[in-house]
Amino acid sequence: MTDAARSLYIAQPALSRAIRDLERELGMTLFARSGRGVVVTSQGCRVVELAREALGAVHEIESLATHSQSGGGELRIASTPTLEAGLAKLLLPAYTAEHRDVRVQVVRCDGREGVVAAIREQRADLGLTDLPVPTDLVSHPVERQEIVLISPPDWNLPNPVPMARLNGMRVILPAPGSSRREEFEQMFASHRVTPVPIPPVPAGPEDKGGLLSLVRSGQASLVGYRIMSEQAARAGLVVRALDPSLRRIIAVVHARRRLPAAAQDFLTIAERRSAA
């Protein structure tokens, strides 16, 4: 409750009173006490689901109104900086070529969790991220991205780099405790290697420019996606494949609700490209 109140910029007692008033008005219990905190009841989960659908319908009406007034509309796509290059290079040109009257806003997010949060909070209509995502979101795979090793130019490494060479190597990793960090650690464990983790730059683990600057300084290598190759090469870095080859599924994701027309059109183009 304290975290929820903080995110809403209101005092915690005020939020608690508002919830009690809502429960009294609806005649049902939305939250139940559990130990030192509270949990959402089954009725509360259903209310949240219906409220999201209602808010989605309101947003769709607003989009239709904007479309009728300006002759266009707006599409908000959440993406991590790592995948933003692929979005701008591959998907957006195809979309804008067919929908020149739609204004596209890219909502930059810090990692997969940020993309999921932007969609849940309705700050974005769609998201571009790697899988998996929580089951309350719908995912539409669009491509499989190769995972590569981006290193300083003076590091003497073969191409491809055997996974065993990552043992003891200085590697930039996401923040401890994050789902992405756990996935990296599982990947390394499956290949029986233990890199030396280097903390990411203060701007955040998904600040692509900051990560490449850290690699360029010679402090560590970066495990990233092949889509970063062009920018890495411009920064004077070396991109190498891994052996065995590793790939992750990239998908367009959205909430389980009706999508605005602009989002539906983008999804159609993304799926068309995936099928090509």
For the ranges 24-28, 78-82, 119-123, 272-276, the maximum mean pLDDT occurs at 119-123
Tens digit of each residue's pLDDT (9 = 90 or more) over 206-265: 455 677 888 998 989 998 888 888 888 989 999 999 999 999 899 999 998 888 889 999
- What local confidence, expressed as pLDDT, does residue 179 receive? 76
Give which of 203, 205, 216, 228 is closest to 88, Cα–Cα: 228
18 is in which domain, residue-wise?
1-40
- For residue 47, being part of any structural domain is answered with no
Provide the pLDDT confidence category of residue 175 given band limits of 50, 70 and 90.
confident
**Position 204 pLDDT exceeds 60:** no
- For residue 127, being part of any structural domain is answered with no
- DSSP collapsed to 3 states, 20-80: HHHHHHHCCCCEEEECCEEEECHHHHHHHHHHHHHHHHHHHHHHHHHHHHHCCEEEEEEEC
- What local confidence, expressed as pLDDT, does residue 202 receive? 44
- For residue 233, being part of any structural domain is answered with yes
Tens digit of each residue's pLDDT (9 = 90 or more) over 70-80: 445 889 999 98
* CATH at residue 177: 3.40.190.290
* CATH at residue 20: 1.10.10.10
- For residue 7, being part of any structural domain is answered with yes
- For residue 229, being part of any structural domain is answered with yes
Can you give the pTM of this predicted structure? 0.64
Q: How many domains does the chain have?
A: 2
| Sequence-ordered list of residues with C-beta below 8 angstroms from that of 223, at least 6 positions apart, any chain | 147, 148, 149, 150, 171, 172, 173, 184
Q: Report the chain's mean pLDDT, rounded to a whole number.
A: 84
- For residue 105, being part of any structural domain is answered with no
**Position 171 pLDDT exceeds 90:** yes
- For residue 118, being part of any structural domain is answered with no
- For residue 71, being part of any structural domain is answered with no
- What local confidence, expressed as pLDDT, does residue 40 receive? 87
